[in-house]
Structure 1
Amino acid sequence: MYSFIGNPAGKKSMNVNMVRESFLGFFSDTHKIIKPYPIVPRWREDVLLVNASIYDFQPHVTSGLVKPPGNPLVMSQPCIRMDDVDSVGFTGRHLTSFEMLCHDSFNYSGNHVYWKNETVSYCFNFFTRAIGIDGKLISFKEKPWSGGGNAGAALEVFVKGLELATLVFMDLKVDPEGQFDVDGEKYSKMPLEVVDTGYGLERIAWVTMGSSTVYDAVFPDVIKFVKEHSGVNFADSEEMAKVTISGVSETYLSQSAESDDLIRYLRNAYIISDHSRSLVHLLKDYVIPSNVKVGYLERMLLRRIFRAADIINFTGNIMDIMKMHIAALSGIIEDFPYQFAEDVIAGEREKFQKNIVEGKAEVLRLLKKKKGIENEDLQLLYDSSGMPPDLVREIASSQNVTVEIPKDFHSLIAARHKIGQKSGEGNIEIYPEIKTRPLYYDDTHIYDFNALVLFSSKNKIIPNQTAFYPTGGGQPNDLGYFVYKGRNVQVTNVEKKGEAIVHTLESPVDKGSRIIGHIDIERRRRLMVHHSSTHLILGVMREYLGEQVWQAGAQKGVESSRIDISYNRKLTDEDISEIEKRCLKAIMENRKIKASFMDWNKATEKYGFRLFEGGVPLSSKLRVVEIEGIDIEGCGGTHLSNTGEIGIIKIISAESIQEGIQRIIFCAGKSALDYIQANYSQLDQIRKATRITSEDISQGVQKLAQENIDLRKKLELYIKTQAESLYESSVESTIGQHRWNIIKGNIEQEVYQFLIKYIMSKNSNFVIMNEEALTCSVISSDPSMVKELLNIVSHESQVKPSRFSKIELNRDQFAEFLKILK
């Protein structure tokens, strides 16, 4: 039970901006203030959204590999959680997006910052001194905590029944062989002790205001705007306060239908207000709606907004709501992409309206097939057609079918689209902890080298150093051979295992052997050209198409390569031409390509999180590859020294592989020349075969194609005329008890096929004797007549009844039946 509603805690009412400033100010003398990270964690591959401030530092900092950006540090981190999306607007306390205030410390051996006692003291002093809450109202509740592969003891902090903060003392990591058990999972000690605190910014503001709901405390102006632009009446705040205090949702509604509607409308106003705030964060990070990953979660929020807007007859502009949120989040949101956001919302609204029309028809079809609609059907309808479950229930109710909607329906949908844990591979090979020196980082032009074999097992070896690049970052491994005992041993695969580089050979090489490696220079060179070209194309596309362009995948090859980007429309021929021109300009300018290892924090502080477009290395240093003035990425691949070495880039194709993802296939350097020459050779062969003398071969081919179309039309007219002539010239004859129209002659195959279709459309009885093919075709609307006639022709009784049948005859049978027809 909440006792602060109508009876707030604290020395004064504080909005979210005031609380944020107070928190950061309170800790600024003792902690380093860190700017908030993006809400889409590009630095992690295991989660879709930042759910808590500690996500910013997992796993690179919490594992001990990377130092924290400040120690101790303080920040306000925007977060989105979809687990309780169905509770938004219903309980009065749930939000999809929120800011998690934190003051964290990272304690290493020999460098203790602060731990439990100091943390509790900081927390108590902040609430009592900065917020002015009576210390007697603050209570602490101990419980274990786990998340993101770590665990530890925790204290939950409550004021008047509302949890305002959690203080986590993280000192455990997931370990199947660990000695500690937390929530059924094994853990062992971490190499450091982390104080991970999380204060609910919005909840602190709420407890100081004592408003009916957290929504009325966080975005009251937005709620007012939504109400003023809606065509319904709403429940008053006192009515909603009863729901919030009781901690229940739909089960509370028990007064009257009118009262139920008023509260339902208010809840939908809350949904619009809350979800639009989350959209601000997602669109700020250029998330494109789709049916996968974080794009799907964004689409879910948009669908819920559109449905809620329809329920309350909202006539306002969603962008106006978002602008109000952006203004309120001025301390967090900078450089918001307004045009991108408007395009996304308009496009999704149009799709939603279309899906509703098609979805209603789909629901009715489903009800004809089965008596009821189950949860699995609801989820499938939502995923495939975007049908809101409450609308499905309304349609089913009109057909006297009852539909039960799970209270956590949208949470279940969101869970289906979470990133799953990667299953372990069978027969995992364990290698010793050996460090192989990567010579390809010293100089990408090292193609021959000496090495000592430190480990050997079957056909696999680990040398002390190598110039062979292992598969990684979308770049295939180098190939070549080792000289061993006077013979060449081919290298078939190279992969990195920890700090060891494992080489798979065509035959064994003994441990302790001294060997000489030789790289396939042509293959290495082409892969370097394509890798540097991938970075160049990405940088050029971002400059030309806009900041919404993010790399979504890449694969380098010898003959060609591909790069996938996030972009909300298909690239046009004009786009491709312009991208090629801009790439050529950069190549002719001979821009420098530099690679260097940088401290993780310094690199991200200087270049931002676009560094991780090509992947997320778990290491203490980031290898940063920069194409001067065009692109900067974290990358472990081999690269050229300058763009001039690329020579030329030719885009082969560009297509949409899924919503919001465009795939560009291209070739560069010698591979591009090979491609262009092959295409020119084909064009030359076409020119010679068609005898086109015009310099504009495309114009000549188009002329030939048009001539072919004209000839085909004439041929079709000829076929039609011939078939109709045969039909009209048919002769009637009585065979058995029925009258038949007889056609005889040498009939061309295309004329024959058209004639069959023409006769069947007329529902007439016909016999076609084709002298050229020695066939007899019988057509009738009465299948029994066809069977009867064919029995006469072939003297067979096993003919199956059909409207059309054709049999082949020898010359004697053909001549005999012709006599019958006469």
Structure 2
Amino acid sequence: MSSVPMPHRPQTANETRQAFLDFFREKGHEIVPSAPIVPQNDPTLLFINAGMNPFKDVFLGTGSRPYDRAADTQKCLRVSGKHNDLDEVGLDTYHHTFFEMLGNWSFGDYFKKEAIAWAWELLVDRWGLDPERLYVTVHEGDEVLGLGPDEEAAALWASETGIAPAHVLYQPSKDNFWMMGETGPCGPCSEIHVDLRDDHARAITPGHTLVNGDDPRVMEIWNLVFIQFDAAKAVDAEGEDEGLITLTPLDAKHIDTGMGFERMCAVLQGKRSNYDTDLFAPLLAAISERADLKPYDRYDEADEEGKRVRVAMRVVADHVRTLAVAIADGALPGNTGRGYVLRRILRRAVRYGYQALGLREPFLASLLPALADEMGEAFPELVESQSTAAKIITAEETAFFKTLVEGIEMFDRAAKVAEYYHENPENAESESMRRPAEGQGFSWDLVPDIPAVSAIEVELRRTGEALEEAEEHFIRSAVDGVFSGDIAFLLHDTYGFPIDLTAVMARERGLTVDEKRFTELMTEQRERARAAAGFAMGETEEVDLWDATADTPKEVAFVGYDRLTVEGARVLKTRTVGEGEDARHELVLDQTPFYAESGGQIGDTGTLTVGDDEIAVLDTVKGADGEIVHLVERLPEAVDLDVMAAVDADRRQRIMRHHTATHLLHAALRETLGTHVQQKGSLVAPDRLRFDFSHFERLTDEERRTVEDRVNALVLRNIPKDEARDVPLDEARARGAMALFGEKYGERVRVITFGPDVSVELCGGTHVASTGEIGLFKLTSEGSVASGVRRVEAVAGEAALAWLDAELGELEATRGAFNQLPDGLPAAVGGLQDEVKALQGELADLRRQQAAAGLDQFLADAEQVGDARVATGVIPGADMDTLRDLAETARNRMTASGGGGVAVFGAAEAGKATLAASVTDDLVAQGVQAGTLVGALAKRVGGGGGGRPTLATAGGKNPAGLADALAAAADEVRQLLG
């Protein structure tokens, strides 16, 4: 008898997915496509992490669908928060970051009877699973929730399926009661488990004892959720939370089921691992080929090396699926939010590929064709986005590879020291081991058989950490088998290693990471950044109280969408913050046409007329309570008179041109570059606009022209503005209005539309009546703000005309600087550039020759330190390449002469000093390493550095210390030689 139950015939993954959907189509279900893995209308979620997410509004009663039965396969991603499978991926056979959830749904239609009967029909009658291997669970009841056992479900399992009574198991709420959140729709559930063990194992241990017991061969394959209650927090007579939950039966009961697609494929294909199914086989084969390994399915997991490689291949296969699906649905690797999640996943895959599979250059993008071939039929967006995804992934990999090797080397060195102290705790308190000489720092290299890790000391100093404190943390943690939180922070801050990646690497060495210390350092860094930002913005403590002149209403009326002047306004409150010339005068009116800075649009300016007193409004901002605060040149003498408030109309018009141009720019960028483009920040001013957006590479000249032409084409169409105020948020989303992740929106919003096929955005800013009022649009710059975030600046209207006039004037002046332009200006400038490059090359050659000519004298003047010669010298005007070449030449000549030697050369220029050091092999063996030496000398020029034991470089910001650094070289070598 087969050890694994088989269907009537083997099924491919694509056949299984289609069979599920076809089955429920027969049962009257609408087959709906998967929602994008990036939530389109739910800023509370990073990613879709459960099949029910796209239907959450239906269960909450805030939305509806034109059908009451549905079935789908939903793309899901679980990598953060409560649903986090990242750490388990690769280590077992069934956890994934990205997975598909097959589901059938009833919205107030059928309930338990049909859900149970159809689940059994599909699994047993259609797919041929052995009933003796299936177990189902039902809710055992919960006194706290006031519920008894779900006898209804148990009875239906018996009557509708004929399952053996011993295979119906009662389980607690943690496994068999589902809640959407702390409150809201909820209900008991029934899980279906399958026992995949062989007959011998089943005879020894009954399957029912292993259900929900974390045995990978007895696993859940389908969960049927019966949504029949509304959960609410219980409150006492005073309205205080009692810490209890009350359940009220719902008028309309729902069904929500979820079947793990990857697990089901393994069951139906008779595989012991999800990774052995045809879902993963093409990817694993592609990885094996790329890494030049033997066929991936021949690794013996009992062999440690084979197991290590197998885990790495699983991680890479899983993670490239996640990256491809997320990018296809509009997400990008970045520094925050979902972008940071993707960056962590990508770097985790790269690290496994580098260390376990020997892949030394970007490789993930090369796996995308195999993925598209396997999943493209179900998800065509993977095929359509393949080229874009390859560029994004390759750019990220390339950036990480630059620091990966150095980061791994730092980790390995520190881990070796940690392992030493863990295995030799008696040495942790030995002052003679750690401080053999007065004033000497943490001597990592004094631990027996451990190479020096001076780079770690350099980095600790660079980030401002106290070296002695870091040392104590390191040793104290290492004794307990804990990897230093200081080094984990350095790996994150300097080399881009996410903490979970460091934790995985530590776990492979039998260590845990001091994440508490890591979090402390991260918190300190954020606080320093916030403090710096606050200082830069000129923030002050608001200790001055408002002087109220009238009862302040909860909301100040803003009428600036419809008019630019208001007569009869009243002063509600005033105050002055600070004294003298630095004083800031603030005023709040009961109604105002002045727009307060928000959403990237800067505040209005204008005038307030109080009686005969005209006061300039210098800016308009939002107050702490959301009120509109006018920053004025001075406070009015009479605050009880009517106020006429007038916005600077010309300035407002120029701002509106730039704000509407920003919307058109956003649309053009998405149209040109792809729907992964998302706004990351903006500035709308009267003289320019700035727009930050998610994208993975520099815009080409052609892309810039395309975007610019597209915006100007939309301007020429003179598209009228469609403004809708006080729109329910759900309705706005249904119109296709863009909601930004992380933004907080009220229940009712304002929607600005310039053509439903062009731009529909939630926006509180001010806009022109039609796009033709913009006049002209011109991109002025494009660059990088952060990894994965680009910035463009542009001008519109009068500002665009002024910019063009300035550019044309500069062009004419440049032409005038050349007497003749027989081949045109570009050719003339190109010729001049070629001439400059040639002269620069000649100058560099002359400097190298000059430096080389002086080498004989530097070697002749070398100071003798024991058996070693220490040659030093200043090379005027030399760059780092010249210093490095000279140091290497000196090393070769000293080696050829048969004696040990050290060479240190330096150069200084305005605000900068550079050093290069080389050491012959015989001295390296005696403990003189170029990296250690140059790192010590670099302190004297206010910097740091490092490199190989035979050749290293350094730089600093104190060129005045160069002579001192070179003079100290011999003493440093003497100390290193002992």
- Alignment counterpart, residue 338 of structure 1, candidates 386, 403, 418: 386
**SS at 1:300's partner residue?**
helix
Residue in 1 that maps onto 2:907:
none
User: For 1:493, which of 616, 620, 625 is the aligned residue?
Assistant: 620
How far apart, CA to CA, are the structure 2 residues paired with 1:408 and 1:549?
37
Identify if the C-alpha distance between structure 1 residues 236 and 171 changes in structure 2 by more than 3 Å, giving closer, same or farther.
farther
Structure 2 partner of 1:447: 564
Instruction: Give deviations 1:396-448, integer Å, cap 9, x for gaps.
Output: 99xxxx94354999xx99xx99xx9xx9x99999998856665444x4xx212
Q: Does 1:213 align with 2:273?
A: yes
**Do structure 1's residue 665 and structure 2's residue 793 form an aligned pair?**
yes
Q: CA deviation at 1:80?
A: 0.7
3-state SS in 2 of match to 1:664 = strand
Cα distance change of structure 1 residues 589 and 152 upon mapping to structure 2, 3 Å threshold: closer
Aligned: 1:89 with 2:100: no
What's the secondary structure of 2:600's corresponding residue?
coil
Q: Deviations over 1:604-651 (max 9, x none)?
A: 4554x7464896633345514225754333323211122221122232
When residues 361 and 505 of structure 1 are mapped into structure 2, their CA distance, relative to the original with a 3 A threshold, is: closer
Q: Which one of 621, 626, 647 corresponds to residue 519 of structure 1? A: 647
Q: Report if the CA contact (8 A) 2:230-2:247 is conserved.
A: no
CA contact (8 A) 1:461 1:503 kept: yes
| SS in structure 1 at match of 2:173 | strand
Seen in structure 2, the aligned counterparts of structure 1 residues 382 and 516 have a Cα distance that, compared at 3 Å, is closer
Whether 1:157 aligns to 2:200 is no
Q: Secondary structure at the match of 1:368?
A: coil
In the alignment, is the contact (CA less than 8 A) between 1:12 and 1:208 conserved in 2?
no
- TM-superposed deviation, 1:281: 1.5
1:78 aligns with 2:75: yes
Q: Distance in 1 between matches of 2:605 and 2:722?
A: 25
* Mapping 1:116-131, distance limit 5 Å: 123-131=115-123
Secondary structure of the residue that 1:67 maps to in structure 2? coil
Letter in 1 for 2:50: A
Which of residues 489, 495, 510 in structure 2 aligns to 1:404?
Answer: 510
TM-score by length of 2: 0.55
Which of 603, 619, 622 is the equivalent residue of 1:477?
603
Matched with 1:468 is 594
Q: What secondary structure is seen at the aligned counterpart in 1 of 2:95?
A: coil
**Cα distance, 1:234–1:615 mapped onto 2, change above 3 Å:** closer
* CA deviation string 1:277-297 (max 9, x = no partner): 222311212433345443333
Which string of whole-angstrom CA distances, capped at 9 and with x for unpartnered residues, describes residues 672-714 of structure 1? 33444566677889999x8989898999999999999999999
- In the alignment, structure 2 segments of 5+ residues that lack a partner are 125-133, 137-156, 158-164, 194-210, 212-218, 415-450, 457-474, 535-540, 576-585, 849-875, 879-886, 888-962, 968-978
User: 2:326 is matched with which residue: 269, 282, 304?
Assistant: 282
Task: Report matched runs for 1:199-278 at 5 Å.
Answer: 199-202=258-261, 205=264, 209=268, 211-216=271-276, 219=279, 221-222=281-282, 225=285, 229=289, 231-232=293-294, 258=303, 260-278=304-322
In structure 2, C-alpha distance between the alignment counterparts of 1:673 and 1:192, rounded to whole Å: 64
Partner of 1:320: 369
CA distance in structure 1 between the partners assigned to 2:555 and 2:274 by the alignment: 54
Deviations 1:246-302 (A, max 9, x none): xxxxxxx9xxx62x4444444334333322322231121243334544333323333
Q: Quick check: 1:84–1:408 contact (8 Å CA) kept in 2?
A: no
**Hey, what's the Cα distance between the residues in 1 that align with 2:966 and 2:4?**
85
Structure 2: distance between partners of 1:474 and 1:380: 34
Task: State the AA in 2 paired with 1:80.
Answer: L
Q: Single out whichever of 536-545 and 694-703 deviates more from structure 2.
A: 694-703
- SS class of match (2:188): strand
Match of 2:49 among 48, 51, 66: 51
Structure 1 range deviating more: 614-623 or 677-686 = 677-686
Partner of 1:551: 679
AA matched with 2:76: C
Using a 3 Å threshold, how does the CA distance of structure 1 residues 606 and 469 change in structure 2: closer, same or farther? Answer: same
Q: C-alpha displacement at 1:495, in angstroms? A: 3.5
Post-superposition shift, 1:591? 3.7
2: CA distance between counterparts of 1:405 and 1:179?
Answer: 46
Q: Provide, for residues 565-622 of structure 1, a one-character-per-residue CA deviation record: whole Å limited to 9, x for no partner.
A: 2222223455445543443344344343433356655654554x74648966333455
Is 1:329 aligned with 2:389? Answer: no
The whole-number CA distance in structure 2 between the counterparts of 1:505 and 1:686 is 44
Answer whether contact 1:272 1:309 (CA < 8 A) is retained: yes
Q: Secondary structure at 2:39's aligned position in 1?
A: coil
Which residue pairs with 2:753 in the alignment? 625
Query: What is the distance in 2 between the residues matched to 1:8 and 1:180?
Result: 52
Using the alignment, how far apart are the partners of 1:226 and 1:156 within structure 2? Answer: 40
Report 1:709-748 matches (<5 A). Answer: none
User: How far did 1:99 drift?
Assistant: 3.4
Q: Once structures 1 and 2 are overlaid, which stretch shifts more, 291-300 or 647-656?
A: 291-300
Which whole-Å CA distance do the structure 1 matches of 2:654 and 2:758 have between them? 21
Q: What SS does the corresponding residue of 1:99 show, helix, strand or coil?
A: strand
Letter in 2 for 1:124: I
Give a deviation string over 1:286-341, Cα, whole Å, max 9, x none: 433345443333233334444555635799951233114423634x8576312112
The 3-state SS of whatever aligns with 1:662 is strand
Comparing 373-382 with 703-712, which one deviates more in the overlay?
703-712
Structure 1 pair 270/461, CA: closer, same or farther in 2 (3 Å)? Answer: same
Are 1:560 and 1:665, in contact at CA under 8 Å, matched by a contact in 2?
yes
Give the RMSD, CA atoms, in angstroms. 6.1
Aligned-partner SS, 1:36: coil
Q: Supply the AA of the counterpart residue of 2:771.
A: T
The 3 A distance-change label for structure 1 pair 206 and 682 is closer
Partner of 2:917: none
- What TM-score do the two structures reach when normalised by structure 1? 0.64
CA–CA distance in structure 2, aligned partners of residues 460 and 191 of structure 1: 51
SS in 2 for 1:322: helix
Aligned length: 677
Change (3 A) 1:701 1:603: same
Question: 1:646-665 maps to which residues of 2 (within 5 A)?
Answer: 646-665=774-793
Q: How far apart, in 2, do the equivalents of 1:488 and 1:471 lie?
A: 23
Question: For residues 290 and 503 of structure 1, what CA distance do their matches in structure 2 show?
Answer: 35
Aligned sequence identity (%): 21
CA distance in 1, matches of 2:621, 2:499: 51
Task: Report the counterpart of residue 248 of structure 1 in structure 2.
Answer: none
Q: Determine helix, strand or coil for the equivalent of 2:384.
A: coil
Give the structure 1 partner of residue 699 of structure 2. Answer: 571
Distance across 1 between alignment mates of 2:501 and 2:389: 27
Q: Distance in 1 between matches of 2:60 and 2:673?
A: 38
Tell me the equivalent position of 1:374. Answer: 483
CA distance in 1: counterparts of 2:24 and 2:92, whole angstroms: 30
Q: Name the SS for the 1:295 alignment partner.
A: helix
Which of 1 and 2 has greater Rg?
1
Consecutive unaligned residues of structure 1, counting only runs of 5 or more, are 107-112, 240-252, 721-751, 755-760, 762-800, 806-822
AA partner of residue 275 (structure 1)? H
The one-letter amino acid of 1:50's match is I
The partner residue of 1:640 within 768, 780, 785 is 768
Q: Which amino acid aligns with 1:664?
A: V
| Structure with greater contact order relative to length (CA < 8 Å, sep ≥ 6) | 1
User: What letter matches 2:391 in structure 1?
Assistant: D
Relative to structure 1, the CA distance from residue 435 to residue 714 in structure 2 (aligned partners, 3 Å threshold; closer, same or farther) is closer
Which amino acid in structure 1 is aligned with residue 386 of structure 2?
Y
Deviation for aligned residue 1:197 = 4.3
Task: Report if aligned partners of 2:234, 2:246 keep a CA contact under 8 Å in 1.
Answer: yes
| Cα drift, residue 560 of structure 1 | 1.7
Residue equivalent to 2:345: 301
